Amino acid sequence: MTEAKGVLASRGWETLFFFSEAIMIIFYCVGTEFAGGLNATTESSVLSMLDTNASYTVATYYAMWMDVHVMIFIGFGFLMVFLKTHCWASVGFNFLVGAWAMQCGMLFIGFWHNVFVEGFSHKVQINYKLLVEGDFCAAACLITMGALLGKTTLP
């Protein structure tokens, strides 16, 4: 009888996650765009300036993003494998919570940045800096999840 309750209880979490992810996809489709878009009418002098800026941005943020990203999804995931009661389920929950928290963090940070700095009429600009900030949001959520795993159980 308790196994049936556990299966039914987990279906509620799966449904909630599915609908929250569907809403997240809608928000990303409607409210975001890639930063620094180019079109066919851009002049060559502007292209060379944008190329220099793009090279600087990649050199500055890509290595940092890669290091933080590996720490989030591999470091925290396999750190939680050593918990006796959770073992490999922790890795799956780590990937799930990390990906969802990164998506939410990017949307929330971009939205509030637009409200207070840019004005409310702009879309959220997806760039390397926002990816790094999204990873930091995921790190905060995963650190909290790791602290709670010592006292609670996963659903």
Residue 110 included in any domain: yes
Residue 73, domain member (yes or no): yes
Residue 3 has pLDDT above 60, yes or no: no
Give 86's pLDDT tier (boundaries 50, 70, 90).
low
Q: Is the pTM of this model over 0.85?
A: no
Inside any domain, residue 91: yes
Q: Has residue 2 been placed in a domain?
A: no
Condensed to tens digits (0 to 9), the pLDDT of residues 107-148 reads: 999 999 888 887 777 788 888 889 889 999 999 998 888 888
Number of domains in the chain: 1
CB 131 within 8 A of CB 40: no
List the alpha helices (DSSP H) in the chain: 2-31, 44-70, 77-79, 88-113, 128-149
Tell me what pLDDT residue 138 has: 93
Grade residue 40 by pLDDT with cuts at 50, 70 and 90.
Answer: very low
**Domain range for 35:** 13-149
Q: Is residue 5 part of a domain?
A: no
